[in-house]
């Protein structure tokens, strides 16, 4: 679990204007010992590796646009790589300590700084503009439809013009007294931005003016204490066909109609990571280290693997016949998509994998906290 050990009273929270819980790993639950895989049916091979700097206390998720992957680090380095070969196309120093990134569409690449700076570059590495968010930014900015959407830790959501950096709109949302120190994600699809919220809510805004399309509850706060009532949405919502799916901490995993917000189904679970979705399943790594698959059609439990308990799992990813997930020691585990059984494993650099994995063509790409970006393929 990545809950902070510091409890912030509501009055103090208000004075600190949006401070949230800092991540730390609980030590009372020992991570599961890995069992040697005999005769694995899937053999991952490393296609390429690239070393960017460390992530520090932040999480930097690689971003794919066309045939390029963009990566960043805490010291302010931003890099464009060829997704197929890992060859460096350009590498720039932003001059700012970074806490969020990377957001990218076909024209603009965006990262966030520790003091709320928003830096935008073109795809040749030339800086386009610089803007200022209302507070620190942990969630990766999202770019699409001519707009860059930024969510700061005080839960101010801002739309900037992607070409000029001019502020187009602001949406202020309340923040619970106690939150996870994580990076609730955003995704842009068509005319809408879907934004994960503390308190278990999923918000859909129109990109053009920031008007609310709908707001739905993924996990409803329950319990007698503030700690028990933390239900922040974890990770990034996923759009798949007409569905939008998300998961919350101490809450539920759920799918909704992406246009209207009408609920399809929800199931109890708790995760401080995100979901993965494919044609048949929704996959979740829960806060106990169990990986589960749910029917995308009705939420029925398809399978669960409990052999990676308390190993600090990443968001999973559906990859061919496998579901891949990273852990706190930098291992990437491949589970059968059909029944959750182990079918392969590969090591990286020994540091935690907290960033969401991405798929670029036939390559599966992970970034570790120490900055190793690894592209894998299977034989």
pLDDT in tens, 302-321: 999 999 999 999 999 999 99
Q: Which residue matches tokens 């199931």?
A: 267
Specify the pLDDT at position 226. 78
Specify the pLDDT at position 184. 80
What is the per-residue pLDDT across 267-308, written as a single tens digit (0 to 9) for each?
A: 999 999 999 999 999 999 999 999 999 999 999 999 999 999
- Exposure class string for 44-75: b at 16+ Cβ within 10 A, else e: beebbebebbbbeebbbbbbbbeebbbbbbbb
Higher-confidence position of 46 and 19: 46
Instruction: Give the whole-number percent of the chain exceeding pLDDT 90.
Output: 82
Is residue 345 over pLDDT 70?
A: yes
| Residue 81: its H or E element | strand 77-82
C-alpha 107: how far from chain center: 22
Specify the pLDDT at position 180. 66
Is residue 11 over pLDDT 80?
A: no
Is residue 5 over pLDDT 70?
A: no
Using an 8 Å Cβ cutoff, are 193 and 140 in contact? no
Higher-confidence position of 14 and 143: 143
Specify the pLDDT at position 365. 98
Is residue 14 over pLDDT 50?
A: no
Query: What is the rounded average pLDDT for all residues in the chain?
Result: 91
Specify the pLDDT at position 223. 77
Specify the pLDDT at position 70. 98
Instruction: Decide the pairing of beta strands 281-285 and 291-295.
Output: antiparallel
Q: How confident is the model at residue 205 (pLDDT cuts 50, 70, 90)?
A: very high
C-alpha 11: how far from chain center: 30
Number of helical H runs and strand E runs in the chain: 1, 32
What is the per-residue pLDDT across 103-157, written as a single tens digit (0 to 9) for each?
A: 999 999 999 999 999 999 999 999 999 999 999 999 999 999 999 999 998 999 9
Q: What is the mean pLDDT of residues 45-50?
A: 98
Angle subtended at Cα 245 by Cα 104 and Cα 278, rounded to the nearest 5 degrees: 80
Specify the pLDDT at position 174. 80
- Exposure class string for 224-251: b at 16+ Cβ within 10 A, else e: eebeebbbbbbbbbbbbeebbbbbbbbb
How many angstroms separate the most distant Cα atoms in the chain? 57
- Other C-beta atoms within 10 Å of 93: how many? 9
- For residue 234, what are the contacts with CB-CB under 8 A and spacing of at least 6? 180, 182, 184, 196, 247, 248, 249, 271, 272, 273, 274
Q: What is the spatial distance between Cα 324 and Cα 334, in angstroms, rounded to a whole number?
A: 5
Domain boundaries of the chain, sorted by first residue: 31-54+272-379
Q: What is the spatial distance between Cα 161 and Cα 139, in angstroms, rounded to a whole number?
A: 18
- Phi first, then psi, for residue 12 (nearest 5°) are -65, -40
Q: What is the spatial distance between Cα 362 and Cα 190, in angstroms, rounded to a whole number?
A: 25
Q: What is the spatial distance between Cα 177 and Cα 11, in angstroms, rounded to a whole number?
A: 8
Cis omega (within 30 of 0) for bond into 235: no
For residue 13, the SS3 value is: helix
Specify the pLDDT at position 179. 65
Q: What is the mean pLDDT of residues 354-372?
A: 97
pTM of the complete model: 0.90
Cα–Cα distances in angstroms (integers) from residue 281 to residues 43, 308, 377, in the given order: 23, 20, 22
Specify the pLDDT at position 182. 66
Is residue 189 over pLDDT 50?
A: yes
Specify the pLDDT at position 287. 94
| Residue 5: its H or E element | none
Specify the pLDDT at position 192. 97
Angle subtended at Cα 236 by Cα 235 and Cα 237, rounded to the nearest 5 degrees: 125
Q: How confident is the model at residue 2 (pLDDT cuts 50, 70, 90)?
A: very low
Check whether domain 31-54+272-379 has CATH 2.130.10.10, yes or no: yes
Q: Nearest-CA neighbor of 265 among 275, 252, 276? A: 252
For residue 265, the SS3 value is: strand
Higher-confidence position of 225 and 166: 166
Specify the pLDDT at position 347. 97
Four-CA torsion 139, 144, 145, 151, nearest 10 degrees: 10
Q: What is the spatial distance between Cα 187 and Cα 63, in angstroms, rounded to a whole number?
A: 12
Is residue 17 over pLDDT 70?
A: no
């Amino acid at each position: 679990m990545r809950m902070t050990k510091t409890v912030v009273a509501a009055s103090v929270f208000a004075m600190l204007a949006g401070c949230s819980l800092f991540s730390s790993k609980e030590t009372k639950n020992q991570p599961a010992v890995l069992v040697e895989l005999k005769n694995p049916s899937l053999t991952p091979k490393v296609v390429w590796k690239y070393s960017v700097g460390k992530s520090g206390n932040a999480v930097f998720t690689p971003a794919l646009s066309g045939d390029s992957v963009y990566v960043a680090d805490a010291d302010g380095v931003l890099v464009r790589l060829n997704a197929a070969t890992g060859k460096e196309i350009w590498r720039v120093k932003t001059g700012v300590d970074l806490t969020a990134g990377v957001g990218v569409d076909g024209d603009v690449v965006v990262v966030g700084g520790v003091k709320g700076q928003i830096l935008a570059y073109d795809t040749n590495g030339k800086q386009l503009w610089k803007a200022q968010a209302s507070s620190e930014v942990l969630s990766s900015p999202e770019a699409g439809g001519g707009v860059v959407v930024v969510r700061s830790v005080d839960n101010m959501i801002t739309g900037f013009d992607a070409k000029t950096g001019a502020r187009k709109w602001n949406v202020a949302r309340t923040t619970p007294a106690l939150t996870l120190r994580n990076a609730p994600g955003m995704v842009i699809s068509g005319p809408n931005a879907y934004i994960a919220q503390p308190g278990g809510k999923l918000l859909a805004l129109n990109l053009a003016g920031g008007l609310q399309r709908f707001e739905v509850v993924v996990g409803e706060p329950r319990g007698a204490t503030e700690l028990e009532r933390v239900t922040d949405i974890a990770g990034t919502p996923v759009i798949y066909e007409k569905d939008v799916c998300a998961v919350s901490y101490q809450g539920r995993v759920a799918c909704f109609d992406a246009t209207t917000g009408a609920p399809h189904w929800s199931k109890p679970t708790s995760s401080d990571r995100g979901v993965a979705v494919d044609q048949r399943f929704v996959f979740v790594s829960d806060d106990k280290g169990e990986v589960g698959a749910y029917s995308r059609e009705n939420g029925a439990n398809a399978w669960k693997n409990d052999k990676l308990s308390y190993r600090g799992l990443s968001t999973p990813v559906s990859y061919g016949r496998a579901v891949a997930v990273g852990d706190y020691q930098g291992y990437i585990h491949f589970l059968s998509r059909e029944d959750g059984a182990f079918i392969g494993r590969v090591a990286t650099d020994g540091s935690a994998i907290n960033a969401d994995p991405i798929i670029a063509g036939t390559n599966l790409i992970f970034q570790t906290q120490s900055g190793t970006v690894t592209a894998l393929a299977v034989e």
